[in-house]
Amino acid sequence: MAQGRVLVVAATHGNERNAPWLLEQWRRSPQLLAAAGLELQLEIGNPEAFAANRRYLDRDLNRCFRPDLLTDASHQEREVQRARMLLAEYGPDGRQPCAVAIDLHSTTSAMGNSLVVYGRRPADLALAAGIQARLGLPVYLHEADPAQTGFLVERWPAGLVIEVGPVPQGLVTATICRQTQLALEAALDTLAAAASGRLCLPQRLQVHRHQASVDLPRAADGTPLATLHPARQHQDWRPLQAGDALFWHADGSALGFSPDDPEACWPVFINEAAYGEKGIALSLCRRESWVCSPGWAEALAELLLP
């Protein structure tokens, strides 16, 4: 059984260096992290990619947790093997089972200190709502995106991503470390409250629900013909209006924002360096305010109660 233990993963992407630096400090000095009495498993997600300071070696580890990939023996990429290993060791039915996975990421986008939740599992929503009540962090609800699936935390009974930026790949900065630790400690405090049956959720959870991703304009051979407009750089979470400058050509001319859905105007992951290869210049969300259900806290408590 997975009861109680919390898996904390750093460097699922090997060139996101802040969380693994912190993790190394916490291993050396456990008193540095306020664990709220929880039993933690601290783990480097992709040690080989971390050693190489690359996002991944064969395949993005945080897109490898698809059931079809995990069970298809023809897939022997290093990251697929690593995903199987992490599940065999720390998955809900693993040798050292964990009930919850917190996956620590950083981004070149100005996401600030933020959360990414995949889908609408009640326990995930309870955890996100608890963190939002403590720190006010914005939530990107990444769902209904067939182009991006197989995220690590989806294979644990509950979990979410803490996503902090902007910070270059390959770089540790103190501010990003402090934000990461604050968000993790708020998550652990929320989980400890759930484990003791005293988790009190706020009335509402604000989410930014994924609607679409937008690529740069490209030539037929794939060459980008424009780049993000300077007025959009580091403007994550700030709503776009029709006609706002979105892309910039080298001759100085702009291409405007032309929305399919005027409510899908909240941008996230603007100019994330790793998403160029995925054909994503930014993603667009609707902002919604959901009433927190008592069932969410119960679902999380059930996973954690001793």
Residues binding a second copy (CB under 8 A): 21-22, 24-26, 29, 32, 53-54, 108, 166-175, 177-178, 181, 223-224, 227-230, 233, 248-251, 271, 273-274, 276-277
State which residue, 210 or 229, has the beta carbon closest to a second copy: 229
State which residue, 237 or 248, has the beta carbon closest to a second copy: 248
Q: In the complex, what is the shortest distance from the CB of residue 27 to a second copy, in angstroms, rounded to a whole number? A: 10
Question: Which of 259, 264, 221 lies closest to 243 in space, CA to CA?
Answer: 259
Amino acid at 19: A
CA atoms within 13 A on the CB side of 221: 1
Distances (CA, A) of 91 to 87, 95, 98, 100, 299: 4, 8, 6, 9, 18
Q: In the complex, what is the shortest distance from the CB of residue 182 to a second copy, in angstroms, rounded to a whole number? A: 12
State which residue, 276 or 294, has the beta carbon closest to a second copy: 276
Q: In the complex, what is the shortest distance from the CB of residue 166 to a second copy, in angstroms, rounded to a whole number? A: 7
How many C-beta neighbours within 10 Å does residue 46 have? Answer: 30
Q: In the complex, what is the shortest distance from the CB of residue 18 to a second copy, in angstroms, rounded to a whole number? A: 9
Q: In the complex, what is the shortest distance from the CB of residue 98 to a second copy, in angstroms, rounded to a whole number? A: 24
CB-based burial of residue 220 (10 Å sphere; 0-12 exposed, 13-18 middle, 19+ buried)? exposed
Q: Could you give the CA distance from residue 29 to residue 169 in angstroms, rounded to a whole number? A: 26
What b/e string do you get for 263-278 counting C-beta neighbours within 10 Å, with b at 16 or more? ebbbbbbbbbebbeee
Q: In the complex, what is the shortest distance from the CB of residue 54 to a second copy, in angstroms, rounded to a whole number? A: 7
Q: In the complex, what is the shortest distance from the CB of residue 13 to a second copy, in angstroms, rounded to a whole number? A: 12
State which residue, 29 or 258, has the beta carbon closest to a second copy: 29
Radius of gyration of the chain from its Cα atoms, rounded to whole angstroms? 19
Q: Could you give the CA distance from residue 127 to residue 63 in angstroms, rounded to a whole number? A: 22
Q: Could you give the CA distance from residue 7 to residue 43 in angstroms, rounded to a whole number? A: 7
State which residue, 200 or 220, has the beta carbon closest to a second copy: 220
